[in-house]
């Protein structure tokens, strides 16, 4: 809630600043396209200056990585997928490259995995199991869909008539702590199955308690920009 209030106040302040200075028309305010790389993956942004003080941007980001391997008698199949779409409002307080940004991302970042036991025995919680007891284990880490953003950066083409330039941004995405969920395939029944469920819930709680400290996603982004 505090993050949302901070985001709302920031957006209102940015819009007020842009309206106050909307009578300046001496700058070149073209459309700009910026391919870039960031801690959200590879991305592409489209931007437009509306006044010498104010502009809007929208962009998409994507990255995926798969890992398959075996460790401690468990075969792993892991997938990291970063995908997001964002809208941003930029204030350029000096009518130059430097900008202060507020916005939000529709956040589809997710980390999933499956594990298949190959050894004779392994532990979950307070009990030992065999590969005959549990055929596979799966997990999923996901984030809040709506994630406010605050940051600073620069665009060397803003207010200028240069065709090519550089963009850079540094900020914080209020993504919220990732939420953990687990799945499994088992041959256990009755009280043994209930014990397994209790052990998995215990492991889930310990993992979630560790994840609760990671409420923010740091953003570092750089790229080229072309202005029409």
pLDDT digits (tens, 9 = 90+) for 103-147: 999 999 999 999 888 777 778 888 888 888 988 889 999 999 999
- The most confident of the ranges 4-13, 20-29, 59-68 is 59-68
Q: How far apart are CA 168 and CA 166, in angstroms?
A: 7
Per-residue tokens: 190: 């009755």
What are the helix (H) ranges across the chain? 2-20, 190-211
Question: Quick one: pLDDT at residue 128?
Answer: 87
Average pLDDT over residues 178-186: 92
Q: Structure tokens of 134? A: 């549990």
Give the pLDDT band of residue 195 (cuts 50, 70, 90). Answer: very high
Average pLDDT, the chain: 88
Structure tokens at 25: 């028309």
Tokens found for residue 121: 């025995």
Q: Buried b / exposed e across 112-132, counting CB within 10 Å, b at 16+?
A: eebbbbeeeebebeeeebebe
Q: Which pTM was predicted?
A: 0.81
Cα separation, 182 vs 203, in Å, equals 10
Helix/strand/coil percent split, the chain, to 5:
20, 55, 25
What's the pLDDT tens digit per position in 45-66?
999 999 999 999 999 999 999 9
* Angle at CA of residue 168, ends 30 and 52, nearest 5°: 35
Structure tokens at 200: 């998995």
Pair 63, 82: CB distance under 8 Å: yes
């Amino acid at each position: 809630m505090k993050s949302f209030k901070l985001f709302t106040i920031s957006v209102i302040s940015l819009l007020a600043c842009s309206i106050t200075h909307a009578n300046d028309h001496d700058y070149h305010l073209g459309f700009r396209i910026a391919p870039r790389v960031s801690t959200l993956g590879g991305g592409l942004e489209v931007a437009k200056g509306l006044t010498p003080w104010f502009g809007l941007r929208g962009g998409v980001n994507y990255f995926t990585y798969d890992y398959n391997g075996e460790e401690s008698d468990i075969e792993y199949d892991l997938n990291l997928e970063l995908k997001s779409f964002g809208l941003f409002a930029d204030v350029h307080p000096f009518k130059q490259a430097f900008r202060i940004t507020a916005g939000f991302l529709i956040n589809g970042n997710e980390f999933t995995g499956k594990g298949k036991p190959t050894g004779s025995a392994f532990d979950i919680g307070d009990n030992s199991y065999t590969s005959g007891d549990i055929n596979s284990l799966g997990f999923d880490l996901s984030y809040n869909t709506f994630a406010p953003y605050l940051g600073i950066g620069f665009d060397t083409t803003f207010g200028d008539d240069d065709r090519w330039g550089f963009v850079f941004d540094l900020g914080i995405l209020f993504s919220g702590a990732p939420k953990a969920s687990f799945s499994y395939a088992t041959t256990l029944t009755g009280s043994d199955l209930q014990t397994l469920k209790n052990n998995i819930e215990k492991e889930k709680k310990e993992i979630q308690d560790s994840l609760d400290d990671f409420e923010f996603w740091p953003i570092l982004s750089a790229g080229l920009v072309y202005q029409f």
